Amino acid sequence: MSVLQQRQPSARVQAAWQVLETVQDPEIPVISLCDLGVVREVRENGALLEVVLTPTYSGCPATEVIAHDVKTALQAARLGPIATVLQRAPAWTTDWISAKGKAALRDYGIAPPGPVPLEGAKPICITRRRQPPVPCPRCASTHTERIAPFGSTPCKALYRCLACHEPFEHFKPI
Ligand SMILES: [Zn+2]
């Protein structure tokens, strides 16, 4: 098989990606699992269509719901036998959220995560790193304050905008 043929996914795999683009995250129903970066790979293993999923946060209670939603959507599309494969390494990072996904979060009223700070070979810093300001998703003011480390889910922190006085959630970069 040539390199070109290997890169070209089968019609079944392409159809599966199209279906997966429509499966929304159960906790943030404006972003697809693909744009969230949870769907890592779709591959054929003999007759089985395998969907590789990396949950956003280990122990995220939505993981089972996500696997179920993926199976249900693909079964409805009659793409043959389906299996989901949980892949926990490498760990999911907010850097995997697509630009389209980050825009959807902002429109939904959740401040999207910025890039994950590079740790590199720097010595471990035990003092609190100064976080860049989180802009308000409604009025874009950077005059905001964090009012709680956790929002509706552990993945999000609760903020308040000091300009428009609206509370909002921030998807924390990890
Ligand atoms: Zn605001």
Amino acid (one-letter) located at 149 = P
Report the distance separating Cα 152 and Cα 21, nearest Å: 24
Q: Are 25 and 66 in contact (CB under 8 A)?
A: yes
Label residue 26 by pLDDT band (50, 70, 90). confident
* Residue-range definition of the domain harbouring residue 46: 8-94
Answer with the one of 75, 94, 113 that is the final residue of a domain. Answer: 94
What is the average pLDDT across 24-53?
A: 94
Query: Considering the entire predicted model, what is its pTM?
Result: 0.74
- Report pLDDT digits (tens) over 101-131: 999 999 999 999 888 766 554 444 444 555 6
- Is 166 part of a structural domain of the chain? yes
d(C-alpha 15, C-alpha 128), whole Å: 46
Residue 32: which CATH number? Answer: 3.30.300.130
Q: What residues have their beta carbon closer than 5 A to ion ligand 1? A: 136, 138-139, 141, 161, 163-164
Tokens of 30: 């404006």
How many structural domains are present in the chain?
Answer: 2
Distance 134 CA to ligand 1 centre (A): 11
89 and 150 fall within a common domain = no
Other CB atoms within 10 A of residue 83 CB: 13
